[in-house]
Amino acid sequence: MKRFFFSLIVALAVVYLAEAAAAAVLGGYKPRLGAALAANEYVLTWQRLPYPGYYEIEVLKTPPDQAPALPGQRLFAFRTWQNSFTVNENFPFRTYWRVSAHGLFRHPFGGYSEPLDLAKLTGRSAVDFNRLKPAATSAYPASAPAPDKPMLTWTVVPGAVYYEIEFLDAPPENPGGTEPSRHRFTHSREVFTHGYNADFSRYPGDRLWWRVRALDYDGNPLGVFSDAQELFIDRRRTVVQRPLPTTVFNRDGLAAPLYPAYAWIPIAGAVSYEVEVLAAPPEIPGNAAPSMHRIWSKEVTGFACYDEQPRIEPGTYYWRVRGLDAAGGPVGAYSEAGSFVVDHAKGNYAATFGDSITHGGGAVSYSPGDWEYSFQTYLAFPAVNLGRSGDTSETMAERFERDVLPFRPKFLLIMGGTNSLRGGTPAEEVIADLAAIRTNCQMNGIRPIFLTLPPINPDAIKKVFNEETASNWRQEFDTVNDFIRQQRYFIDLDPHLADAGRELPDYYAIDGLHPDIEAKKLIAQIINSQWARVTR
């Protein structure tokens, strides 16, 4: 046995010395990083070295000006024995990638590759990204004409706050442009989702064209107009108006959020909407009267409704929405019923617990019902969303037993206190609430994994919500984040989402508070990269 260990030590020493010699020879080596598109994913490749070793892929926040990356510049990293890596759409595009080679004993083999700008590679650089173009998903040709109140739909433009739809009496003279057409006879900017229920009951003709473009918060074009769609009208067609649900639960096997949000495309003539949640499918689909299976309902204005009740009881639930007029009477009929499944087993491994940043939504017009705006969508492991919009650290602590314990997650990702601190609650009170949540986790066999609070942008919050932010918010955030960094298990998000002024930049959150798609992907990938460390 002694001879075996002696031989092993000698072999390792030989390999170590050989590797050190190879590292000296390869001191000038620099990987050539390339990329190719395959099945809507980008495959990064580089030449393989003849000497055994691994490759480290770094993902950076800004272009590297030196090696190694500066503190806060490196977002996350991956290691692989292969000379390729696949970058899918779950990664944030506003990132820079580079690769380096290392020996078995971590000797560096040369330097870093030239950085690859993922935004430029994917065609999402500032110029290209601002020329996004919606595509119509509804059609009414002469062979299948529209009623006088057709539902018009198109693809979502990521980051669009609202849309402008215009109706033309002739094809536009400026296809693919950003300016209105001189053939426009009416238009609307009251379009806050990717659909519009047009009303042509007073339009004298039976043929027209329509197109749509995305707008940012200030009303500036976010891309060009869609291709104009010719539309034919047959006024003899009678179609009952019904809101069009846009929320899809349990997508790709994801768990339903504890507090669902329901969203839809509005209908012409409705001034408010009533959402009902059912314990069984509606006994008369497509009718205008409430169902006998109703267990909850709420009247709202707009195009989204937040469920105020945690859906904890396992089973299948159904929801639908109808429009109401000014007198409270129905406009048209109920939408088709959507469904979602509550399964405690979906949360046995991991759960996320927090306020609206955890719950989801962003870009002003998107709710947690829009799955692209939830960071859970991009996690590499299953997790149930226990977030609730509007929560403070105090209300999180209060609802822990009711909302967390039924799922008995092994790991609980905790991010809370933003609403408390920006409203003036002292950091010490938030820390006390987080400590109480930590204690409750430990008493119930749950590992608490804290996330540092992302920064906010008070000017943007004031602009969008007309809400003031406590003047000492940064100091109080730092105090809470310092507490979080002292915990045994934590993941640091704050420095990766901050600009040079330590605020949340507009390209991560239009409203200064709720991270948009790019930031939600970034949050998820930071968690993914740290998951093995905090769960082992």
User: In the predicted model, what is the mean pLDDT of the chain?
Assistant: 93
**DSSP string spanning 268-284?**
TT-SEEEEEEESS--SS
The whole-number pLDDT of residue 110 equals 84
Fold entry, domain 151-232: Immunoglobulin-like (2.60.40)
Fold entry, domain 344-536: Rossmann fold (3.40.50)
Express each pLDDT in 221-252 by its tens digit: 999 999 999 999 999 998 899 999 999 999 88
Express each pLDDT in 96-108 by its tens digit: 999 999 988 888 8
Nearest to residue 319, comparing CAs of 369, 267, 386?
369
353 vs 176, more confident = 353
Q: How confident is the model at residue 458 (pLDDT cuts 50, 70, 90)?
A: very high
Assess whether the previous peptide bond of 172 is cis (omega < 30° from 0): no
Within 8 A by CB and 6+ apart from 83, the residues are 45, 46, 47, 48, 55
Mutual orientation of helices 393-403 and 427-443 as an angle, nearest 10°? Answer: 10
Q: Enter the tokens of residue 531.
A: 């998951």
pTM score, two decimals? 0.93
The whole-number pLDDT of residue 21 equals 74
Query: Is 344-536 in the same CATH topology as 242-342?
Result: no
The whole-number pLDDT of residue 69 equals 78
Class at the top of the CATH hierarchy for domain 242-342: mainly beta
- The percent of residues in the chain predicted with pLDDT above 90, rounded, is 82
Express each pLDDT in 258-305 by its tens digit: 999 999 999 999 999 999 999 999 999 999 999 999 999 999 999 999
d(C-alpha 252, C-alpha 388), whole Å: 22
Mean pLDDT computed over 16-35: 78
Q: With 70 as the cut, is the pLDDT of residue 5 above it?
A: no
Query: Which sequence spans correspond to the domains of the chain?
Result: 14-122, 151-232, 242-342, 344-536
Express each pLDDT in 312-336 by its tens digit: 999 999 999 999 999 999 999 999 9
Q: With 70 as the cut, is the pLDDT of residue 22 above it?
A: no
Fold entry, domain 14-122: Immunoglobulin-like (2.60.40)
Nearest to residue 321, comparing CAs of 250, 237, 253, 261?
261
Q: How confident is the model at residue 6 (pLDDT cuts 50, 70, 90)?
A: low
The whole-number pLDDT of residue 387 equals 98
Express each pLDDT in 183-232 by its tens digit: 999 999 999 999 999 999 999 999 999 999 999 999 999 999 999 999 99
